[in-house]
C-alpha cells in the first residue's frame, strides 16, 4: 500500500490509535462495575466522587485504525450519579473524548501533524492517509477517504478549546520543574499564517499546539497522562 508522504511525520506515528484490547478491557471493567471514576468533586454541590453511585452504562462506538484498516469497536462508558444533588456525569477513560468516536491517539496525531507542519492542510492530511474500511462479507469492499477534511478541522477546534486545561497543565509542569524552559518552548510554537483568517482561529490552533506539546511532557513528569484526570477536572475546557 502506498501513500503520499504526510508532512514530516512518520506514518506509523501518524496512525496511532487506541487498541481494541484497551477499549475491550475498559468495557469489561464497566460491565463488572470495576472501572475507576475519573470525575472530580461535583461542580454543583461539592460532594466528592467517593460518594458517587454508578448510574448507567452508555454505549459508544469507537473508530480505531489497525494496519490502515478502519474498524469500529463497541465500548461502554460509565455514567455516575452524585448522591448530593442527583446530577449525572460521564467518566471518560484516557482514550475517549466527549462526543468523539475516534480515539485520543488518532485525534492527537492528526492535530499534531497539522499544527507542526507549516505546509500541512486538512485536505492534504486526509488525502495522504487513505484507509481501508473493515468489510463484512455482504458489503462492497471499497477504499474510501478515511474522513472528511472538516473532521480534522473539528478535532483542532475541540482540542483548541481546552484552554483551561492547557493553562493548568502548564502551571503544574512549571511548579514541578520551575527551572524548565517550558515557557520559552511554548512561545516558540508558531502557527503558519496560511492556516487562519481570524485571531480566534489562530488562538484555537495555538492552544491545540500547546496541548499536543504538553501531553508527552506531562506524562514523563507525572507518570500519568493529561487525559483523563486533569482533563476531566477542568471539564474538557
Ligand atoms: Zn452534586
| 115 and 203 assigned to the same domain | yes
- 45 Cα: distance to centroid of ligand 1 (angstroms): 4
| 110 and 64 assigned to the same domain | no
Whether omega before 203 lies within 30 degrees of 0, making that bond cis, reads no
| 117 and 226 assigned to the same domain | yes
Kindly tell me if the per-residue pLDDT of 8 is higher than 50: no
- 187 Cα: distance to centroid of ligand 1 (angstroms): 39
* pLDDT tens string 211-224: 999 999 999 999 99
pLDDT band at 65 (very low <50, low <70, confident <90, very high): confident
| 153 and 51 assigned to the same domain | no
| 119 and 215 assigned to the same domain | yes
| 116 and 207 assigned to the same domain | yes
Distance CA 143, CA 134 (A): 10
- 84 Cα: distance to centroid of ligand 1 (angstroms): 5
* pLDDT tens string 144-160: 545 788 999 999 999 99
| 84 and 118 assigned to the same domain | no
- 49 Cα: distance to centroid of ligand 1 (angstroms): 9
pTM of structure: 0.88
- 82 Cα: distance to centroid of ligand 1 (angstroms): 5
Question: Averaged over 48-60, what is the pLDDT?
Answer: 97
> Buried (b) or exposed (e) across 48-83, using 16+ Cβ within 10 A?
ebeebeebeeeebebbbbeeeebbebebbbbbbbbe
Q: Specify the long-range contacts of residues 38-44, CB closer than 8 Å, at least 24 apart.
A: 38/91, 38/92, 38/93, 38/228, 38/229, 38/232, 39/80, 39/89, 39/91, 39/232, 40/232, 40/233, 42/82, 42/84, 42/85, 42/87, 43/235, 44/82, 44/84, 44/85, 44/87
Q: Is the residue at 136 inside a domain? A: no
Distance CA 90, CA 87 (A): 11
Question: Averaged over 190-218, what is the pLDDT?
Answer: 97
- 18 Cα: distance to centroid of ligand 1 (angstroms): 32
Q: Is the residue at 9 inside a domain? A: no
* pLDDT tens string 82-106: 999 999 999 999 999 999 999 999 9
- 41 Cα: distance to centroid of ligand 1 (angstroms): 8
| 75 and 116 assigned to the same domain | no
Q: Is the residue at 27 inside a domain? A: yes
Domain with 118, as residue range(s), is 105-130+141-233
Q: How many helices (H) and strands (E) does the chain have?
A: 9, 5
| 119 and 74 assigned to the same domain | no
Sign of CA dihedral 162, 164, 167, 170: negative
- 12 Cα: distance to centroid of ligand 1 (angstroms): 43
| 66 and 167 assigned to the same domain | no
- The pLDDT value given to residue 14: 58
| 74 and 155 assigned to the same domain | no
- 162 Cα: distance to centroid of ligand 1 (angstroms): 23
Kindly tell me if the per-residue pLDDT of 18 is higher than 60: yes
Q: Is the residue at 52 inside a domain? A: yes
- Listed in sequence order, the DSSP H helices in the chain are 11-14, 20-32, 104-116, 122-128, 149-159, 163-176, 182-187, 199-222, 229-233
Number of domains in the chain: 2
Measured between alpha carbons, how far is residue 15 from residues 1, 67, 226 in Å?
14, 8, 20
Q: Which of 237, 71, 58 is nearest to 162 (CA)?
A: 237
The average confidence (pLDDT) of the chain is 89
- 160 Cα: distance to centroid of ligand 1 (angstroms): 28
Question: Averaged over 191-199, what is the pLDDT?
Answer: 96
Q: Is the residue at 100 inside a domain? A: no
- 33 Cα: distance to centroid of ligand 1 (angstroms): 21
Residue 9, Cβ neighbours under 10 Å: how many? Answer: 20
User: In the block, which residue shows the cell 511532557?
Assistant: 217
| 49 and 111 assigned to the same domain | no
- The pLDDT value given to residue 6: 38
Q: Is the residue at 155 inside a domain? A: yes
Q: Is the residue at 41 inside a domain? A: yes
Amino acid at each position: 500500500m502506498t501513500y503520499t508522504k504526510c508532512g514530516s511525520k512518520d506514518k506509523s506515528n501518524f496512525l496511532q490509535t487506541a487498541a481494541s484490547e484497551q477499549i475491550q478491557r475498559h468495557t469489561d471493567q464497566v460491565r463488572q462495575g470495576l472501572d475507576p471514576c475519573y470525575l472530580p468533586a461535583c461542580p454543583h454541590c461539592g460532594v466528592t466522587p467517593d460518594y458517587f453511585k454508578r448510574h448507567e452504562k452508555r454505549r459508544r462506538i469507537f473508530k480505531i485504525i489497525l494496519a490502515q484498516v478502519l474498524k469500529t469497536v463497541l465500548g461502554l462508558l460509565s455514567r455516575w450519579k452524585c448522591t448530593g444533588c442527583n446530577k449525572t456525569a460521564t467518566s471518560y477513560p484516557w482514550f475517549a473524548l466527549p462526543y468523539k468516536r475516534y480515539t485520543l491517539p488518532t485525534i492527537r496525531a492528526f492535530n499534531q501533524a497539522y499544527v507542526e507542519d507549516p505546509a500541512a492542510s486538512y485536505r492534504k492530511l486526509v488525502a495522504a492517509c487513505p484507509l481501508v474500511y473493515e468489510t463484512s462479507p455482504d458489503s462492497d469492499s471499497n477504499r474510501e477517504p478515511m474522513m472528511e477534511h472538516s473532521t480534522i478541522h473539528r478535532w483542532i477546534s475541540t482540542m483548541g478549546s481546552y484552554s483551561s486545561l492547557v493553562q493548568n497543565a502548564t502551571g503544574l509542569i512549571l511548579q514541578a520543574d520551575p527551572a524548565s524552559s517550558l515557557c520559552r518552548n511554548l512561545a516558540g510554537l508558531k502557527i503558519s499564517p496560511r492556516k487562519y483568517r481570524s485571531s480566534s482561529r489562530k488562538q484555537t490552533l495555538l492552544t491545540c499546539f500547546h496541548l499536543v506539546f504538553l501531553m508527552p511532557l506531562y506524562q514523563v513528569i507525572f507518570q500519568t497522562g493529561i487525559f483523563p484526570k486533569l482533563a476531566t477536572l477542568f471539564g474538557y475546557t
